[in-house]
Structure 1
Amino acid sequence: MHVFDRKAELIDHLNMERDKNHEIGLVPTMGALHKGHLSLVKKAISENDVVVVSVFVNPTQFDQKEDLEKYPRTFERDVELLKQLDDTIVVFAPDAKDIYGEEVIAKEYNFEGLDKVMEGAFRTGHFDGVGTIVELFLTTVSPSRAYFGEKDFQQLQIIRKLVETQNLPFEIVGCPIEREPHGLAMSSRNERLSETTRKEAGFIYKTLKTANEKFGTESASEIKKWVKSQFEKNELLDLEYFEITDENTLTPMLKKQANQKYRAFIAVYAENVRLIDNLRLN
């Protein structure tokens, strides 16, 4: 297994792979890998000759310093998990100065409103930080394809917009959400939950599924009121937001339109850990 912590060394290695006409896949992560991440890596392995997994906790996408400091870091374990999966995986784990340069700051982007709702409304500057680091990794690795999970569906749509507006020649591949046995969307943040709360947090997915059932006969406002009432009864989980939007534009649904795709989004606090999830509505 190749592990690089310097951008120049990684680029030299990947250029040798390109000389062999090898296609390269990229899976950007912040580490603390779980089965959700590994499902992305497996997908990338199936579609490319070489797979690069970046492991980098990106400071510019955290709006709260405390959240950045508490983010789990398990690099040695991460490398071992990847090695067990496929020992030809290339791991890229730079420090902030190596990937950003002298100034570790986010660029400002125009995501055409995709960044102003839901996560963007609650996390100031978050998506500029995400866009900056994703663009840096894309232009460093120059992959044929890059893989992102649908748990962060708003992020996925913003990255697609980034590639479009910056004219980047890379395919962005979205991959299904992986879930724990009780339904909670897999996330590195789940490790910070107690066993009891982690199990109880399956209530989030259960609520999304019921909202999907209601979507056939009830309005968005009625469903939102119902979701709010369910969390008011739950002593362990605090609802931050629930929204139903157009899947492509992420604008809130006012009236259901034929041939439109809609998705429900939710953010919840459990033991001061912020959990997000989403589900396409039928």
Structure 2
Amino acid sequence: MKTYSTTASLRATLNAARRAGKTISFVPTMGNLHEGHLRLVRRARQLGDVVVVSIFVNPLQFGANEDLDSYPRTLAADKEKLFAEGVQCLFLPQVDEIYPEGMDLHSKVSVPDLSERHCGASRPGHFTGVTTIVNKLFNIVQPDSAVFGEKDFQQLSVIRKMVRDLCMPIDIVGVATARADDGLALSSRNGYLSDQHRRSAPVLHRVLQECREAIACGYDSYRELEQHAVLTLREAGFEPDYFAICDAGSLREVGPQTEEVVILVAAKLGSTRLIDNVTLNLNPSADWGMLATN
């Protein structure tokens, strides 16, 4: 595995690989890698001849009161894990490589509407930071495919729309959420949880599952389900940001044409903000035994 800190050096290597007829798959990360990230890397290895992983804690997607300075950075351990997974290229740029004139003067990419709901409503500017850095990384790496986790369902949806809207020739591949044995979605932020909060954290996924089961059984009073879920989370010690039952395509309210539902949640447990989701196919002709269980 070779490490690159500049766009020019990485591009030189990847251009040579392309001339040799090799395909390139890409996994953008912010480091502090866990099993969820490694599953993305393994999927990328199936998709491309050369796997590129980036580690960049992107300041543009953090709000003024968010955890940029305290975001966990574990570079030595990350490198060991990526080497063990057979990654060929690690892109490790500094902030001034990505934003040479500073963030305020840097061109930005935004996805309207889809990025303004749910997490976008409570974290203004967050998704513009995400789409700007992902767009820039895509231009640097020019991958054939890029792999993202489904844990952040809204982020994946926003990136897919950006790629469609801007006619990028990149296959965006989602990978099911990796979970601990008790159901908690793996996240770099789980390390912030106290022992007590870690014991409570699996309630988040349990409430999502209960909501999905109610809908699968025919209960369609979605606002009542959302209100009940919020109350249950508060009783378990969470501070819910939102709990929303949505059309999986538009992230808007479920309507007559909805075929797949996504149930999204974001909630604080102590000072740690957790997100999760599950999906459900509403198509009556679907094989119910094959319903998504992420």
TM-score interval, smaller chain: over 0.9
Q: Quote the offset at 1:168 in angstroms.
A: 1.4
Equivalent position of 2:232 in the other structure? 230
**Could you tell me which amino acid in structure 1 is paired with residue 100 of structure 2?**
G
- In structure 2, C-alpha distance between the alignment counterparts of 1:258 and 1:250, rounded to whole Å: 13
Distance change >3 Å, CA 247–CA 124, structure 1 → 2:
same
- In structure 2, C-alpha distance between the alignment counterparts of 1:172 and 1:55, rounded to whole Å: 18
Once the two structures are overlaid, the 10-residue window that deviates more, 23-32 or 95-104, is 95-104
Unaligned runs of 5+ in 1: none
Q: Contact 2:24 / 2:144 at 8 angstroms: preserved in 1? A: yes
Count residues in correspondence: 278
**Could you tell me which amino acid in structure 1 is paired with residue 121 of structure 2?**
A
Q: Contact 1:115 / 1:158 at 8 angstroms: preserved in 2? A: yes
Equivalent position of 2:156 in the other structure? 156
Question: Where in structure 2 are the equivalents of 1:40-79 lying within 5 Å?
Answer: 40-79=40-79
Say whether residues 1:95 and 2:122 are aligned partners: no
Q: Quote the offset at 1:195 in angstroms.
A: 2.7
Equivalent position of 1:266 in the other structure? 265
Question: What SS does the aligned partner of 1:102 have?
Answer: coil
- In structure 1, C-alpha distance between the alignment counterparts of 2:66 and 2:208, rounded to whole Å: 29
- In structure 2, C-alpha distance between the alignment counterparts of 1:43 and 1:160, rounded to whole Å: 18
- In structure 1, C-alpha distance between the alignment counterparts of 2:66 and 2:187, rounded to whole Å: 18
Unaligned runs of 5+ in 2: 282-294
Once the two structures are overlaid, the 10-residue window that deviates more, 190-199 or 136-145, is 190-199
Question: What SS does the aligned partner of 2:210 have?
Answer: helix
Question: What SS does the aligned partner of 1:224 have?
Answer: helix
Question: Where in structure 2 are the equivalents of 1:231-250 lying within 5 Å?
Answer: 231-235=233-237, 237-250=238-251
Q: Contact 1:96 / 1:104 at 8 angstroms: preserved in 2? A: no
**Could you tell me which amino acid in structure 2 is paired with residue 238 of structure 1?**
E
Question: Where in structure 2 are the equivalents of 1:1-282 lying within 5 Å?
Answer: 1-86=1-86, 88-105=87-104, 107-215=107-215, 216-235=218-237, 237-253=238-254, 255=255, 257=256, 260-282=259-281
Q: Contact 2:32 / 2:75 at 8 angstroms: preserved in 1? A: yes
Question: What SS does the aligned partner of 1:169 have?
Answer: coil
TM-score when normalising by structure 2: 0.91
Q: Quote the offset at 1:84 in angstroms.
A: 1.4
Q: Contact 2:189 / 2:272 at 8 angstroms: preserved in 1? A: yes
Q: Contact 1:97 / 1:104 at 8 angstroms: preserved in 2? A: no
**Could you tell me which amino acid in structure 2 is paired with residue 242 of structure 1?**
F
- In structure 1, C-alpha distance between the alignment counterparts of 2:206 and 2:100, rounded to whole Å: 44
- In structure 2, C-alpha distance between the alignment counterparts of 1:77 and 1:110, rounded to whole Å: 33
Q: Contact 2:240 / 2:268 at 8 angstroms: preserved in 1? A: yes
- In structure 1, C-alpha distance between the alignment counterparts of 2:24 and 2:274, rounded to whole Å: 31
Q: Contact 2:247 / 2:258 at 8 angstroms: preserved in 1? A: no
Q: Quote the offset at 1:143 in angstroms.
A: 0.3
Q: Contact 2:109 / 2:135 at 8 angstroms: preserved in 1? A: no
- In structure 2, C-alpha distance between the alignment counterparts of 1:110 and 1:95, rounded to whole Å: 23
Question: What SS does the aligned partner of 2:186 have?
Answer: coil
- In structure 2, C-alpha distance between the alignment counterparts of 1:195 and 1:22, rounded to whole Å: 46
Q: Quote the offset at 1:64 in angstroms.
A: 2.9
| Structural RMSD (CA) | 1.5
- In structure 2, C-alpha distance between the alignment counterparts of 1:244 and 1:203, rounded to whole Å: 17
Q: Contact 2:110 / 2:132 at 8 angstroms: preserved in 1? A: no
Once the two structures are overlaid, the 10-residue window that deviates more, 37-46 or 244-253, is 244-253
- In structure 1, C-alpha distance between the alignment counterparts of 2:221 and 2:51, rounded to whole Å: 44
- In structure 2, C-alpha distance between the alignment counterparts of 1:228 and 1:66, rounded to whole Å: 23
**Could you tell me which amino acid in structure 1 is paired with residue 223 of structure 2?**
S
**Could you tell me which amino acid in structure 1 is paired with residue 275 of structure 2?**
I
Q: Contact 2:239 / 2:268 at 8 angstroms: preserved in 1? A: yes
**Could you tell me which amino acid in structure 2 is paired with residue 264 of structure 1?**
I
**Could you tell me which amino acid in structure 2 is paired with residue 147 of structure 1?**
V
Q: Quote the offset at 1:252 in angstroms.
A: 2.2
